Amino acid sequence: MSANSCLESSMKHAKKFKEYFEDIRPVTDEELEELLNDSPGRSERNKKIKKAKKELYREH
């Protein structure tokens, strides 16, 4: 890999990194409270499904 292509790759990475962090903003107290009060929902359901599948495969 030449030095020029390495530099181009680094600059592309830096640009993506900068764009990613420009979108981040502080969370307000109200938003934080909502996030903390939300139920786990989907991830909890997925855990139950995985556990049921494991049990099913153990039986067979």
Q: What is the pLDDT of residue 40?
A: 66
Q: Do 48 and 56 touch, CB atoms closer than 8 A? A: no
Amino acid at 30: E
Q: Quick check: 27 and 35 in contact, CB under 8 A?
A: yes
pLDDT above 90 coverage of the chain, percent: 0
Name the percent of the chain lying above pLDDT 70. 85
